[in-house]
Each structure stands twice: as structure tokens, then as C-alpha cells.
Amino acid sequence: MKKLLVLFATVLIGLTVMGVYMKAAVLGEVRSLNPYFINSSAERQLIGYLYETLMTTSEGKAVGMLADSWEVNLEELYIIFHLKDRLFHDGRPVTAEDVAYSFNITVQKRLPMGPLLAWFNKAEVLDEKTVKLNFRVLNSFVVSSIPMAIPIIPESLWKDIGNPMEFSNLDNPVGTGSLKFKEITPQSVTFSSNSNHPDSPQYLEGIVFNLVQDETMGFLGLVRGDYDYIYWNLDPSLATQMLKDPDRYKNLGLAVTNGDSVVSLLFNHRTLPGSDLNFRKAVQMAIDYAQIVDRVYLGFADVASSGLIPSMAKAVFSSSVGVASINIEKAKEYLAKSSYKGEKIRLLIYTSKEQMELAEYIKLFLSKIGINVVIDPQGHEAVTAALKKADFDMSLTTYSLGFHPEMAFYHLHSSRGTMQNGQVSGFNYGGVSIPELDETLNVIWTAFDENVQRDAFHILQEQIKEFVPVVPICIPNRLEAFSRKNLEGWIISETEGVLSTETLKNLKSK
């Protein structure tokens, strides 16, 4: 009888462990789980667990996700991918037919990711596990971006959908990711562990994503133990509270890791004084970067390199460029040589707490050398519209270059800033047009050799420091809050943060 009781207790313990879900809070609503049509940050986060791409990045390098290996043919403009043996959530194997369909439908149906495939021609099936992607243009950017952007979907479930853009995909979304769909309610979405995936949670049943509309309420829920993790960057003031009063937050952990996004000051190069190098240098030298890090970000940021590229992009980052520092006398000298005559300079910003505070400091610093800044706070859509119309003098912006530094081409090359029908045709909203930068960016765009790319990036960073197309200000840290009250096994990764692949595999009930 005692043996039976022990066995029964063991079974109960096993069931308890297997029944444990991580409870997370995400901001916003989930109206769709369609990987081609994402409406909110909550949807983006959830879809990332359901669907996978051919490739991804790890430690700054391209690695296979659904692809086991690949060969690039530059002369004939194609990449051949050999697939891993993976299963969709419904148990069907992933085939080359599914991959080819996923790429071809993006172009044929003009889905939102279609513009990314401007250089893509078509996908062909070579055999059950081999697919060939044909391109019109094939360069380093294409190889490092397109195979990482297109989600692989099961052809059998999507082929009869007339308009994929109107498909909510909420009934039973099927992908290949480490989590699979279980249920959705107005308050939450539940995913279960995909036991067929090598990176699936080993000790958790899955994750319950609780939908919240307010960061403060989400944080309070974390403090109470309602949630184990909150899916947003913590406000620096809350992070400071956690560090100052550890007894109050004894069950909470704070993961501080390097960010990949560079907060920068963008000039409009199409008009004076933004097109004047002396004015740009004056602005660069008038800003007290260390004070911004201390006052706006409460120390949870690093002063950015004057070369714009963040240190997270280890393969191409140049430590010799250094960071800018305030020099009021030099700033005044450059301003005196510039075309600036005291006119008002409109600084376009988002109406976020961070940008409002940052803008006030920039206004203060520039006033000390005689530049008259007027802050123009607007909503997200209004700011985007103004940038596309080139309707600004200066603007605060953020460049995500840690994982994909080659995106600098899109932000700084003159071909990406031309105006067509009153709109900027690319993402070079400032209209940067500096021949030396264009020449170096062209090398980066076409180079495949790692040494050539690295050398070109080092030159680019020196040129950005010299010509100041933008003023890199700082790189905010990623601040992630999590609770140790119910779960243990949290592992902090410098590139993935605290909710890393290893964390999900190792989290277990206390």
C-alpha cells in the first residue's frame, strides 16, 4: 500500500510539473495571428513563437533555422537551401513545397513583406528537402535579410485562402515554432510546448500571454506574482527603484543587457542649415552626452560611438572611432562659420516620455551656443508622415543596427532619400547625400568577403564621425523584469536577453 501511495504521489508531482505554465504580460490586443499582417507588438511577439524562417541570427552571425545548409551562387543569382527534418504543429513534415509556396505567395498576393522581395524572382522545388530561391539581385544584404524575414507556412492550410490579408488565423494557427497554439480568450492567449521542437520548453506546459493595456498595471502584476515576465522594456525609473529597494522587490530580477538601437539626431540635409557641415559639427559638439545618459536614461544607456554602428555589431564595429564629447568653445567656432543666422530650428519628436525629456535637454544644450530650437511633439503617425514628406529641420530617431548593421545603407545612401511625388522614396528621411559615404556604402552593399565588409564598415564609421550625417547620441540598455517567485532557471543572454532560448528550455516550477 505504501508503494502505491508513493507511486501515486510521484504521478501527482509529475502532473503538477507538466501542468505549469509561464504567465507573461504583453501590451495590446491580439486580433490576428497572421504572420503577414501584424497589428500590434503583442501580435508580433506571439507570432515569433509560432512561425520560423529559413535563417536567423545568433551572436551576430547568420545561422540556419529551418535551413540545415545553403549554397550561394553570385554569378547565377540564386541560393539553394537544404531543409532540416522539422514538423509543423499538426504533425506534417516541412517540405520544399511549403517553403517555395511561402516565398511565392508573398509576391503573388502582394503581401506587406513583398517590398522586401524587390530583388526576388521565384522559388523552385528541387526535391522534397531542397528549395532554390532565384533573385534579380543578390548581395550581402539580400542573403542576410530575406531568408530571415519570410515565415514558412503550410501550403495545405493556406492554398485555399483567397485573400491572406483578411485571414485572422485565430482558429488554429499552424507553424513550426517552439510553441503551438492552444486557445484564445479576450484576456489571454495560451501556447503549449511543441515537443517536436529542439528548443521547446522542457519543464513547462507552455506560456499564457495575458493581454494588458498599461505598463504600470503590468509591472504591479509582476510584483504581486500574477506574472512571471513582462514583454516590454522597463522604464529606467522603475529599474532604479528595483535596485534601490531590493527588499521590496525581493522576488524580482532585472536583466540589463546591451541594446542594439542607436538614438540619434537626424538633420534635414535638403535645406539649410542641415546641409551645412559646420552647423552639424556645432550641434555634435554642443551636446552633453553623458548628462543625457544620466538624466534621461538614469544611467541605463551608453554614449553612442560617433561612427553610429553599435558595439553589438561585433564583426564590423570599430572601437577606434570613439565617442563624441561636449566642447562648447569648438561648437561656437563651428556655428560662427556656418550659415545659421538665428532662425528657429524645428525639432520633430514623438509624444513619448523619453523623447520629450531628451528633446528638452537637446534644446537646452543647443541654446548655450545660440541655436534656437522649437520642439514639435506629434503622434506616431503624424511624425512618420512628416518624415516621409521631409517636413522637419531636425528629428529624433532610432536606428536598429546591432543585428543588421548593413541597414545603414538604407538610412544613409543618397539613392534612398530621393523625393518622388512629394514623398521620400526610401528610409533616408534626412536626404543624406555625401559622395564619400555613398562610395563606402556601395562596397558594403555588394561585398561578400567578411574582411572586405569589415574594412568598409570601419571606413564608414570614420566618415560618419567626420561628415556628421546624423548625431549618434546613446544606446539605451534593454531592461527586462522577471519574477523568481514561481519559476527558476532564468538565464541571461547578452544577445537574447533574459527570455532566451536557454531560459525557455530550462524554466521550471519551484
Q: Is the dihedral of CA 167, 173, 176, 177 positive or negative?
A: positive
Indicate whether 290 pLDDT > 80. Answer: yes
- Using an 8 Å Cβ cutoff, are 293 and 302 in contact? yes
If you ran DSSP here, which 8-state letter would residue 15 be given?
H
- pLDDT score recorded for residue 10: 42
HSE of 487 in the Cβ direction (CA atoms, 13 Å)? 32
Peptide bond into 236 cis (omega under 30): no
Q: In terms of C-beta density within 10 A (0-12 exposed, 13-18 middle, 19 or more buried), how is residue 295 classed? A: middle
Indicate whether 5 pLDDT > 80. Answer: no
- pLDDT score recorded for residue 13: 42
From the list 147, 163, 140, the residue with the least C-alpha distance to 448 is 140
Q: What are phi and psi of 347, to 5 degrees?
A: -100, 110
Q: Percentage of the chain surpassing pLDDT 70? A: 95
Higher-confidence position of 322 and 106:
322
- pLDDT score recorded for residue 7: 40
Q: In terms of C-beta density within 10 A (0-12 exposed, 13-18 middle, 19 or more buried), how is residue 334 classed? A: buried
- pLDDT score recorded for residue 119: 84
- pLDDT score recorded for residue 115: 55
pLDDT, mean of residues 106-110:
87
The predicted-structure confidence for 392-415, as pLDDT tens digits, reads as follows 999 999 999 998 898 999 999 999
Banded pLDDT at 450 (limits 50, 70, 90): confident
C-alpha cell at 133: 530561391
State how far the Cα of 341 lies from the Cα of 19, in Å rounded to an integer: 69
Banded pLDDT at 8 (limits 50, 70, 90): very low
Indicate whether 128 pLDDT > 90. Answer: yes
Going by their DSSP bridges, the two strands 344-350 and 394-400 should be labelled as parallel
The predicted-structure confidence for 307-326, as pLDDT tens digits, reads as follows 999 999 988 999 999 999 99
pLDDT, mean of residues 221-248:
96
* Helix (H), strand (E) at residue 509: strand 508-509
- pLDDT score recorded for residue 59: 63
- pLDDT score recorded for residue 1: 43
With cell 568598409, the residue in question is 456
State how far the Cα of 137 lies from the Cα of 74, in Å rounded to an integer: 9
The DSSP bridge partners found for residue 189 are 184, 209
- Using an 8 Å Cβ cutoff, are 80 and 130 in contact? yes
Indicate whether 428 pLDDT > 80. Answer: yes
State how far the Cα of 409 lies from the Cα of 457, in Å rounded to an integer: 11
State how far the Cα of 123 lies from the Cα of 12, in Å rounded to an integer: 50
pTM, rounded to two decimals: 0.87
Indicate whether 354 pLDDT > 70. Answer: yes
- pLDDT score recorded for residue 352: 92
C-alpha cell at 377: 511633439
DSSP string, 6-63: HHHHHHHHHHHHHT-EEEEEEES--S---TT---SHHHHHHHHHH---SEEEETTEEE
HSE of 87 in the Cβ direction (CA atoms, 13 Å)? 11
Domains of the chain with bracketed CATH = 16-32+177-258+478-509 (3.40.190.10), 52-158 (3.90.76.10), 261-476 (3.10.105.10)
With cell 523584469, the residue in question is 481
State how far the Cα of 307 lies from the Cα of 424, in Å rounded to an integer: 24
